Amino acid sequence: MTTGVKGMVLAGFVVAALSACVPDPNVVQAGMNAPPTPAVFTDAYAAGQDSGIAIPAIPLDKLPAQFQRQTVAYQTEEVPGTIIINPSERLLYLVTGKNKAIRYGIAVGKAGFEWAGVANVAERKLWPTWTPPKEMIARKPELARWEKGQPGGPTNPLGARALYLNSNGRDYGYRIHGTPDWQSIGHNASSGCIRMINQDVIDLFQRVPENAKVIVLNRDGSVPTAMVLPPPVVPRRVAPPVAPVTPVVAPVLPNNGLPAFVPALLPPVPPSLAG
């Protein structure tokens, strides 16, 4: 084989080898080179015990598949350990690697309580005490019984775990926490906090590093450049009760035994004065 022919053959091998590294557009179009299929965690929502507290199982037939914990392909430049929350989708992503994440279903703020911004995990608590803010007590006076705090437990609104968020060193009162009300997952149901199924928040709690970055996206899915907070809630004004009016009765004075006064009759007018 001549040198020229050998060179042409070698070049052909090189081109073939390089072309093997480039996806065929037709194959991609057919879905054969598509992102990996999301993988749901097995037995993620089984019943269990945590710190001596029973956690009931979640019926999967009542929890939509998109809100079940699963590994997914997720395009992002954020480092592993970052939490990205998409309120419009009611989904939370924990970045685990290059364009990879664990996805959890969540409940987010209802109308008037939505927010967006960048924060960090400033504190973490197991079965935290819940203290309703005074603004919430003003809206729901029945919560006044917990103004000193509701101890952690199966009916506590913060659930099994809570991640306390700060933004620029300030606590705006937002948390990522569990909930006994797992039916609210996938809905706009909270007063601004991010709710998770108890089994999911326990899993997230174990994976998130200290001081982790948290990004809550804008409604359109874009990354916020500043904190976007809801308008302050004005508590309902209740008119003060009107005191009943008691009629005043003049007292009857005693006459000390004297006869009652009777005005004397006037004498007739003299004829000389009569017109």
Top pLDDT among 234 and 105 is at 105
Which one is catalytic: 55, 95, 193, 202?
193
State the pLDDT confidence band at 16, using cuts at 50, 70 and 90: very low
Top pLDDT among 54 and 32 is at 54
- The boundaries of the domain holding residue 157 are 107-231
In CATH, what number is assigned to the domain containing residue 193? Answer: 2.40.440.10
Which one is catalytic: 177, 180, 215, 217?
177
Q: What number is the average pLDDT over the span 36-62?
A: 93
Does some domain include residue 48? no
Residue 28 in this model has a pLDDT that exceeds 70 = no
Percentage of residues of the chain with pLDDT beyond 70: 74
State the pLDDT confidence band at 30, using cuts at 50, 70 and 90: very low
Closest among 70, 174, 195 to 122, alpha carbons compared: 174
Does some domain include residue 77? no
Does some domain include residue 160? yes
Domain count, the chain: 1
Does some domain include residue 238? no
21 carries an active-site annotation: no
In angstroms, how far is CA 2 from the centroid of its own chain?
Answer: 74
Does some domain include residue 159? yes
**What average pLDDT does the structure give for the chain?**
83
Does some domain include residue 11? no
Does some domain include residue 50? no
193 carries an active-site annotation: yes
Does some domain include residue 78? no
